[in-house]
């Protein structure tokens, strides 16, 4: 997942996502507002920044940005692409740097002080973005260039930037009258505050834990017990073990703990984040957010928030997204029934007399996996040592794209001692960018995994190289012990690395064209997941951390055979959340009772009772920490259709590192970012539109054979 930005950050970057090669003088003597110095085109000065620096930096950056926009809007010369669109690309450099660093504080270093700053400054950021979108003189210049674009001699990339900028201004209120603009600004600022509040409340619940005693550890591996012990010690708990309320801690416990009562307790605590009443409850925020989104959509001339959000995607309409989800949902629920029947049979053989509940699913699924395929997560983990998997990801990038990674940790500042840094170069030694890795869970860091860009590639005046990071929440082992991760964790690592490669490989001229459609952005990440279980990666990097032996062929065969196992569960928990998201936002009004809405919709679509939504509404950060994934959670499925179809192209070649195909994928699917139409780019790469059959096959779902004519 790409980093979730605040509303104001999204709005600003759609106006002007680029930065000038020749940076203007800083508006104030501050490490936050000064141009980044040092090697590699300048790097964030994490070692010189503290949270209390941000208010003054935002104020100075706002003032500079306003002056830059005013200079463009008030330019007495005839509007041209160069003095309007390119000038906009050059504006806002200081504010972007400040926002990039504050975004890391929001997600990775979120103390109460940072949360208070987020709540205070997010509405102000939204207001600045709206000032730009509502600037009538600026929009008039953009419109003048747009209306004469056929005579301007623009190349296709220039034309795309112009057309997308014009459409974005219209879609965000540039044509509203004064009363409409005022109300839209009020909505945007209020939403920004609500997003910050929602994020802070969920994080607060994720910082809780369930303490365990020595008698509560049955079924857990030595490594798991050590991790829970380390978590308890970090929280000052003596002679105890702690399951922290984050997925990286909860899922392994649910998979292996023999204590059904504790599994239920842990599961309920995790699924009730944001839904416990009191100061961390988010339900009232959801009601207000959905109401404001619906009002904003009507104000802008759209039937629903979903129509507003999906217009600029590959799907184009909510109906297209719903049709795709419906095609997969029926196969998903049927598969869940099969999986539950298998688990129920095994559970009854072991003397269990009840029915499978959501807190039982991972536990009994692992038992079925072990019985059916003679493979379990504990047997696999010794082969997935974190450093080896990082090396495996780098090797994959090298084999596909010729990239080389050299660790330079200690040579550039980082925001936490856990963070490592690598310089990325082409095969010929040409500098590409820097890759930062922040892999471990800790207090103040939100759960999940995501990619963040500190700086993106652009070439308006001169080339500026990207600085990107991956952020995971793996659990540290005991001191001195290696970090062993699950196959799912290894897949997550490759997923986020796919996002990073997308931006490291960029050759986009304008960063105003860096944001790809929401249902395309997951393609580079989801396609890279497929390389984890390829033989070259397993044979070279999946080596036992104690013996150094490669994963035995017999175990590899079992892993491959089990790869499609439990796809009903994983698809159902994701897809139910995506369907709820779409139904929530594809309506003319907001909702008044999130619990009832979620409950009734799940019942209405026949969601299996044994599988809960991956993210219930009260903790659904994708939807309520920004607008980024609202009415867009379906995008993972949309992108996975493309990803499955794209990887099948390599399988058809018989070589997962086919050089010609890899070069084509780099040139067509990754490097341009949004410099050309993404649907057409995929057709050029594959020779046709993506086929859903590839996705169904990969998940082990039945595929309808074409009828004979």
**Given 278, 301, 317, which residue is the final one in a domain?**
278
Distance CA 530, CA 537 (A): 11
Confidence class for position 524, pLDDT limits 50, 70, 90? very high
Tell how strand 420-425 and strand 241-244 pair up: unpaired
CB 49 within 8 A of CB 40: no
Is the pLDDT at 15 greater than 60? The verdict is no
Q: Share the mean pLDDT of the chain.
A: 93
Q: Is residue 191 part of a domain?
A: yes
Q: Which two tokens stand for residue 591?
A: 């909702």
Beta bridge partners of 423: 406, 434
So what's the pLDDT on residue 107?
95
Phi-psi region of 587 (alpha: psi -120 to 50; beta: other; left: phi over 0): beta
Confidence class for position 14, pLDDT limits 50, 70, 90? very low
Axis-axis angle for helices 692-699, 318-349 (nearest 10): 10
Q: What is the pLDDT of residues 143-169, one digit of tens each?
A: 999 999 988 899 999 999 999 999 999
Note whether 196 and 230 are same-domain residues.
Answer: no
So what's the pLDDT on residue 657?
98
Confidence class for position 315, pLDDT limits 50, 70, 90? very high
Distance CA 428, CA 118 (A): 43
Q: Which two tokens stand for residue 391?
A: 């090396």
Confidence class for position 555, pLDDT limits 50, 70, 90? confident
Q: 69-76 contacts: CB < 8 A, separation 24 or more?
A: 69/131, 69/132, 69/135, 69/138, 72/138, 72/141, 73/135, 73/137, 73/138, 73/141, 74/137, 75/141
Note whether 123 and 215 are same-domain residues.
Answer: no
Tell how strand 431-440 and strand 450-455 pair up: unpaired
Catalytic residue numbers, as ranges: 496
Is the pLDDT at 24 greater than 70? The verdict is no
Is the pLDDT at 13 greater than 70? The verdict is no
Mean per-residue pLDDT for 558-571? 88
CA-based R_g, the chain, Å:
25
Distance CA 544, CA 384 (A): 8
Mean per-residue pLDDT for 500-515? 97
Which domain, by its residues, includes 678? Answer: 637-699
DSSP H or E run through 24: none
Distance CA 306, CA 319 (A): 10
Is the pLDDT at 27 greater than 80? The verdict is no
Q: Who's near 638: CB < 8 A, 6+ residues apart?
A: 314, 315, 321, 324, 519, 522
So what's the pLDDT on residue 705?
61
DSSP H or E run through 245: none
Is the pLDDT at 503 greater than 70? The verdict is yes
Q: Is residue 174 part of a domain?
A: yes
User: How far is CA 221 from each of CA 252, 255, 336, 420, 481, rounded to the nearest angstrom?
Assistant: 10, 11, 27, 28, 14
Pairwise pLDDT comparison (178 vs 16), residue with the higher score:
178
So what's the pLDDT on residue 419?
98
Q: What is the pLDDT of residues 221-245, one digit of tens each?
A: 988 999 999 999 999 999 999 999 9
Distance CA 391, CA 429 (A): 19
Distance CA 462, CA 21 (A): 5
Q: What is the pLDDT of residues 253-282, one digit of tens each?
A: 999 999 999 999 999 999 999 999 999 999
Q: Is residue 631 part of a domain?
A: no
Residue-wise burial string across 385-413, b where 16 or more C-beta atoms lie within 10 A, e elsewhere:
bbebbbebbbbbbebbbbbbbeeeeeebb
Is the pLDDT at 472 greater than 90? The verdict is yes
Q: What is the pLDDT of residues 41-89, one digit of tens each?
A: 999 999 999 999 999 999 999 999 999 999 999 999 999 999 999 999 9
Note whether 99 and 181 are same-domain residues.
Answer: yes
Q: Which two tokens stand for residue 184?
A: 């839209």
Axis-axis angle for helices 358-373, 318-349 (nearest 10): 70
User: How far is CA 398 from each of CA 342, 491, 563, rounded to the nearest angstrom?
Assistant: 42, 18, 25
DSSP H or E run through 436: strand 431-440
So what's the pLDDT on residue 374?
85
Q: Is residue 1 part of a domain?
A: no
Distance CA 651, CA 654 (A): 5
Total tally of structural domains belonging to the chain: 4
Note whether 389 and 524 are same-domain residues.
Answer: yes
Mean per-residue pLDDT for 674-685? 97
* CATH number reported for the structural domain that contains residue 466 in this entry: 1.10.1370.40
Q: Which two tokens stand for residue 282?
A: 């988010």
Mean per-residue pLDDT for 650-658? 97
Mean per-residue pLDDT for 374-391? 90
Note whether 400 and 512 are same-domain residues.
Answer: yes
Confidence class for position 4, pLDDT limits 50, 70, 90? very low
Q: What is the pLDDT of residues 433-462, one digit of tens each?
A: 999 999 999 989 998 899 999 999 999 999
pTM of the model: 0.90
So what's the pLDDT on residue 378?
79
Distance CA 283, CA 285 (A): 5
Q: Is residue 451 classed as helix, strand or coil in its secondary structure?
A: strand
Q: Is residue 183 part of a domain?
A: yes
Confidence class for position 1, pLDDT limits 50, 70, 90? low
Note whether 254 and 199 are same-domain residues.
Answer: no
Mean per-residue pLDDT for 676-698? 95
Is the pLDDT at 425 greater than 70? The verdict is yes
Mean per-residue pLDDT for 478-482? 85
Q: How much of the chain exceeds pLDDT 70, in percent?
A: 95
Note whether 171 and 71 are same-domain residues.
Answer: yes
Note whether 226 and 168 are same-domain residues.
Answer: no
Q: What is the DSSP string of 636-694?
A: HHHHHHHHHHHHHHHHHHT-TT-HHHHHHHIIIIITTTTSS-HHHHHHHHHSS---HHH
Tell how strand 467-474 and strand 450-455 pair up: antiparallel
Note whether 158 and 228 are same-domain residues.
Answer: no
**Given 278, 296, 321, which residue is the final one in a domain?**
278
CB 9 within 8 A of CB 633: no
Q: Is residue 406 part of a domain?
A: yes
Tell how strand 467-474 and strand 431-440 pair up: parallel
Note whether 30 and 131 are same-domain residues.
Answer: yes
Note whether 173 and 266 are same-domain residues.
Answer: no
Confidence class for position 476, pLDDT limits 50, 70, 90? confident
So what's the pLDDT on residue 12?
34
CB 245 within 8 A of CB 270: yes
Q: Is residue 347 part of a domain?
A: no
Mean per-residue pLDDT for 523-544? 94
Residues in the chain: 709
Note whether 146 and 199 are same-domain residues.
Answer: yes
**Given 233, 257, 278, which residue is the final one in a domain?**
278
Mean per-residue pLDDT for 271-300? 98
Phi-psi region of 606 (alpha: psi -120 to 50; beta: other; left: phi over 0): left
Q: Which of 461, 322, 307, 483 is nearest to 387 (CA)?
A: 483
Q: Give the CA count within 13 Å in the CB-facing half-sphere of 115.
A: 16
Q: Is residue 601 classed as helix, strand or coil in its secondary structure?
A: helix
Q: Is residue 592 part of a domain?
A: no
So what's the pLDDT on residue 377?
76
């Amino acid at each position: 997942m790409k980093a979730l930005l605040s509303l104001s950050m999204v709005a600003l970057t759609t106006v002007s996502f680029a930065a000038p090669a020749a940076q203007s003088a800083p508006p104030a003597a501050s490490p936050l507002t000064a141009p980044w110095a040092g090697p590699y085109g300048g790097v964030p000065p994490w070692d010189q920044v503290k949270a209390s620096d941000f208010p003054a930096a935002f104020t100075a950056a706002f003032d500079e940005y306003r002056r830059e926009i005013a200079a463009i809007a008030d330019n007495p010369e005839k509007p041209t692409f160069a003095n309007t669109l390119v000038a906009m690309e050059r504006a806002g450099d200081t504010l972007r740097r400040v926002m990039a660093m504050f975004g890391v504080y929001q997600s990775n270093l979120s103390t109460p002080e940072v949360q208070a700053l987020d709540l205070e400054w997010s509405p102000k950021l939204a207001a600045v973005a709206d000032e730009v979108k509502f600037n009538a003189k600026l929009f008039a210049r953009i419109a003048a260039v747009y209306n004469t674009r056929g005579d301007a001699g623009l190349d296709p990339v220039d034309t795309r930037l112009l057309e997308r900028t014009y459409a974005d201004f219209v879609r965000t209120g540039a044509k509203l009258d004064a009363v409409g603009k005022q109300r839209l600004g009020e909505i945007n600022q209020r939403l920004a505050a609500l997003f910050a509040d929602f994020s802070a409340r969920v994080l607060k619940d994720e910082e809780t834990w369930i303490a365990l005693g020595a008698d509560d550890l049955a079924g857990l591996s030595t490594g798991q017990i050590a991790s829970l012990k380390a978590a308890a010690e970090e929280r000052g708990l003596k002679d105890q073990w702690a399951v922290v309320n984050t997925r990286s801690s909860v899922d392994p416990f649910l998979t292996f703990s023999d204590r059904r009562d504790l599994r239920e307790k842990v599961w309920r605590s995790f699924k009730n984040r944001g839904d416990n009443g009191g100061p961390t409850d988010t339900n009232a925020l959801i009601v207000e957010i959905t109401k404001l989104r619906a009002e904003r959509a009507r104000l802008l001339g759209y039937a629903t928030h979903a129509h507003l959000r999906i217009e600029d995607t590959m799907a184009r309409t909510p109906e297209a997204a719903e049709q795709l989800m419906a095609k997969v949902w029926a196969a998903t629920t049927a598969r869940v029934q099969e999986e539950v029947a298998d688990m129920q049979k095994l559970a009854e053989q072991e003397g269990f007399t009840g029915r499978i509940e959501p807190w039982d699913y991972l536990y009994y699924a692992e038992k079925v996996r072990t019985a059916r395929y003679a493979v379990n997560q504990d047997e696999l983990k010794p082969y997935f040592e974190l450093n080896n998997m990082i090396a495996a990801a780098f090797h994959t990038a090298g084999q596909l794209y010729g990239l080389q990674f050299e660790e330079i940790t200690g040579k550039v500042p980082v925001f936490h001692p856990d963070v490592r840094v690598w310089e990325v170069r082409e095969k010929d030694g040409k500098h590409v960018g820097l890759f930062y890795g922040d892999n471990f869970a800790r207090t103040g860091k939100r759960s999940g995994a995501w990619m963040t860009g500190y700086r993106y590639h652009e070439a308006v005046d001169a080339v500026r190289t990207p600085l990107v990071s991956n952020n995971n929440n793996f659990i540290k082992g005991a001191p001195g012990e290696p970090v062993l991760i699950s196959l799912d964790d290894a897949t997550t690592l490759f997923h986020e690395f796919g996002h990073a490669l997308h931006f490291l490989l960029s050759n986009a001229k304008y960063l105003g064209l860096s944001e790809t459609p929401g249902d395309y952005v997951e393609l580079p990440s989801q396609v890279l997941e497929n390389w984890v279980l390829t033989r070259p990666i397993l044979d070279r990097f999946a080596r036992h951390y104690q013996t150094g032996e490669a994963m035995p062929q017999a175990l590899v065969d079992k892993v491959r055979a089990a790869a499609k196992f439990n796809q009903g569960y994983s698809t159902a928990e994701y897809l139910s959340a995506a369907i709820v998201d779409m139904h929530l936002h594809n309506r003319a009004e907001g909702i008044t009772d999130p619990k009832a809405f979620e409950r009734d919709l799940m019942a209405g679509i026949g969601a299996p009772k044994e599988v809960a939504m991956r993210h219930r509404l009260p903790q659904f950060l994708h939807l309520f920490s920004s607008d980024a994934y609202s009415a867009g959670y379906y995008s993972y499925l949309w992108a996975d259709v493309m990803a499955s179809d794209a990887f099948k192209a390599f399988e058809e070649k018989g070589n997962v590192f086919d050089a010609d195909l890899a070069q084509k994928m780099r040139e067509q699917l990754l490097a341009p970012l949004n410099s050309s139409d993404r649907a057409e780019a995929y057709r050029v790469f594959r020779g046709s539109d993506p086929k859903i059959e590839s996705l169904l096959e990969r998940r082990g779902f039945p595929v309808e054979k074409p009828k004979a004519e």
